[in-house]
Amino acid sequence: MSDETMGTLNNNLKQYTSGEAQPQPQPTNGQSDTWSPTSWQSKPIKQVVKYEDQAAADAALKQLTKLPPIVTPTEIWRLRTSLRDAALGKSFLLQGGDCAELFSYCAEDPIDAKLKLLLQMSLVLIWGSNKPVIRIGRIAGQYAKPRSSPTEIMDGKEVPSFRGDILNGYEPDQRRVDPDRLVSAYFHSATTMNYIRAQLGSGIADLHNPMDWGLGHVGDKELQSKYTAIVNSISDSLRFMRTIGADTSGQLQTVDLYSSHEGLVLEYEQSLTRRLKHPAGHPGAQTSTDGKGWYNTSAHFLWIGDRTRQIDGGHVEYFRGIENPIGIKVGPSMKNDELIELLDIVNPGKDIGKVTLITRYGADKVESMLGGHIEAVKSSGHVVVWQCDPMHGNTRSTSTGIKTRSFGNIFSELSSALKIHKQHGSFLGGMHLELTGDAVTECTGGSQGLDDEDLSLNYTTYCDPRLNEKQALELAFLVAGHYREDAGS
């Protein structure tokens, strides 16, 4: 192994475990005195939840206010500091998980499968980009889904739409909004997060045993060969480090993995928003009168969906007041001036990396829209994390009415985003994917060559189609290959 290769591998090993930067002095959140966790209630709101038994809903929400936080301010600020580097092009954000997480996914095997897949993908991306990778799962709380219609047809009958396990069940006889599900969502989130912490603390991400992650359902020999080559390079580097007495095993046994979900059900988010002490090094610890701030303790990272980002709406009002890093979905209908007004509201202090813009145009629209948004944000003085969501803009229905996505369109939008950011002197800071560690057949294409007729083989999603393990890992290799080619050009 050449000295140059060894140096690169050693740097990558350090990057694998970092995913964070040292705390930087940053301005405070710019909250106005008029904000409170309940101030969103005075604003118009989309995706309204109506409970038949409001007294039961009030009791459930009151119970939530007494339960302990699922995440801590220290964890939240560690992520926020890491995202500052992603905004500056120094690291890459990998965010992925189920479209609609179900309570039944709170089990050992489903959690392990997603956790291992995200670890595998991050290893590939570090190898390709020579950057630390920040890992955020759509996990431990992604229980709510926005719907375009209050009802849908199921088995020939019109029933209330499935809005995620936090509100109602998928089966037709479970479509009534049940307030007890709010508390159940908390306990499933907390249990999932507890298991993730335990697994990471027990060495599931230990680079001394990277093949322990396995490749699950991936049967493609070429893909296995590529991944094995990366693992072998890491193993060679570790053996060399042990030989010269520079083994840093303590730093290579675990990584950070953060939780995220769409902050859709605001009464739930409000109940888990707490006035908590800022961690050491936080600028607000000196500037606020009590050394505290408002933290959403249901997840490390939350985002506003494309359906609920109204300037004068309740969701924007709620999001502008929390300390957590936040995301905003940016679709084809977003105007340049609207985007800047939105950023000014949720991040008046222009904190670098506080906001992640999650672009979701579709493969046929990204070329005409992304450049204008990039230039508008650059002119505004905001420095955001630009993240590509190549899933939501590329959904279609088959002739038999099955929702699917084409792997080719997904990669096309992602590769176009990489190219357009480079053309505009910007950085694509990450990608946002709906994926699963299971061998599902929900998206067509990829090296498996799945077509519409194959979707029925193992189509298990309860909402939108997800990449299976092989397709997700394949996408990571394609993005990593782009970075390696770009570095060599």
Count of CB atoms situated within 10 Å of the CB of 226: 18
388 is annotated as contributing to ligand binding: no
Structure tokens at 182: 């709010």
* CATH code, 420: 3.20.20.70
Strands 133-138 and 92-97: parallel
The residue behind tokens 């997060």 is: 193
Annotated binding residue at 99? yes
**Selection from 331, 395, 408, 397 nearest residue 365 by Cα:** 331
Q: Looking at residue 54, what is its pLDDT?
A: 95
Q: Answer whether 391's CB lies under 8 Å from 443's CB.
A: no
Does 393 map to a domain? yes
308 lies in a domain?
A: yes
Task: Kindly calculate the radius of gyration of the chain based on its CA atoms and give it in whole angstroms.
Answer: 22
Domain count, the chain: 1
In the block, tokens 């140096």 appear at 7
* CA dist., res. 464 & res. 419, Å (int): 27
Q: What is the pLDDT of residue 220?
A: 81
Instruction: Report CA-CA distances (Å) from 329 to 103, 298, 369, 405.
Output: 25, 20, 14, 19
Answer whether 359's CB lies under 8 Å from 373's CB: yes
Q: In sequence order, what are the residues at sequence separation of 6 or more whose Cβ sits closer than 8 angstroms to the Cβ of residue 234?
A: 9, 12, 13, 123, 207, 210
Burial class (CB in 10 A: 0-12, 13-18, 19+), 148: exposed
Dist CA 219 CA 141 (whole Å): 31
| 54 occurs within a structural domain | yes
Question: Is residue 405 part of an annotated ligand binding site?
Answer: no
Q: How many Cα atoms within 13 Å fall on the side-chain side of residue 305?
A: 20
Question: Which pTM does this prediction carry?
Answer: 0.91
Residue 130 in any domain: the answer is: yes
d(CA 97, CA 87): 22
- Residues 442, 464: Cα–Cα separation, whole Å: 9
Which 3-state string (H, E, C) describes the chain? CCHHHHHHHHHHHHHHHHCCCCCCCCCCCCCCCCCCCCHHHHCCCCCCCCCCCHHHHHHHHHHHHHCCCCCCHHHHHHHHHHHHHHHCCCCEEEEEECCCCCHHHCCHHHHHHHHHHHHHHHHHHHHHHCCCEEEEEECCCCCCCCCCCCEEEECCEEEECCCCCCCCCCCHHHCCCCCHHHHHHHHHHHHHHHHHHHHHHCCCCCCCCHHHHCCCCCCCHHHHHHHHHHHHHHHHHHHHHHHCCCCCHHHCCCCCCEEEEECCCHHHHHHCEEEEECCCCCCHHHHCCCCEEEEECCCCEEEECCCCCCCCCHHHHHHCCCCCCEEEEECCCCCHHHHHHHHHHHCCCCCCCCEEEEECCCCCCHHHHHHHHHHHHHHHCCCCEEEECCCHHHEEECCCCCEEEEHHHHHHHHHHHHHHHHHCCCCCCEEEEEECCCCCCCEEECCCCECHHHHHHCCCCCCCCCECHHHHHHHHHHHHHHHHHHHHC
Query: What is the model's pLDDT at position 238?
Result: 73
Q: What whole-number distance in Å separates Cα of residue 426 and Cα of residue 373? A: 11
Q: What is the pLDDT of residue 248?
A: 56
Q: Residue 96: give the domain boundaries.
A: 39-205+254-439+468-488
Q: Cβ distance 325 to 301 under 8 Å? A: yes
Query: What is the CA 326 to chain-centroid distance, rounded?
Result: 10
CB of 132 within 8 A of CB of 83?
A: no
CA pseudo-torsion sign 153, 159, 161, 165: negative
For residue 381, is it within any domain?
yes
Q: Is residue 237 part of a domain?
A: no
Position of tokens 């980002």?
A: 309
Q: Is residue 240 part of a domain?
A: no
Does residue 380 lie within any of the structural domains? yes
How do the pLDDT tens digits run along the chain, 489 residues long?
A: 444 444 444 455 455 544 444 343 344 444 456 899 999 999 999 999 999 999 999 999 999 999 999 999 999 999 999 999 999 999 999 999 999 999 999 999 999 999 999 999 998 999 889 899 999 999 999 999 998 889 998 888 999 999 999 999 999 999 999 999 999 999 999 999 999 999 999 988 887 777 677 777 777 888 888 888 888 887 787 777 777 766 655 556 678 999 999 999 999 999 999 999 999 878 765 567 888 999 999 999 999 999 999 999 999 999 999 999 999 999 999 999 999 999 999 999 999 999 999 999 999 999 999 999 999 999 999 999 999 999 999 999 999 999 999 999 999 999 999 999 999 999 999 999 999 999 999 999 998 899 999 999 999 998 899 999 999 999 999 999 888 888 775
> What is the rounded distance in angstroms from the CA atom of residue 451 to the CA atom of residue 442?
10
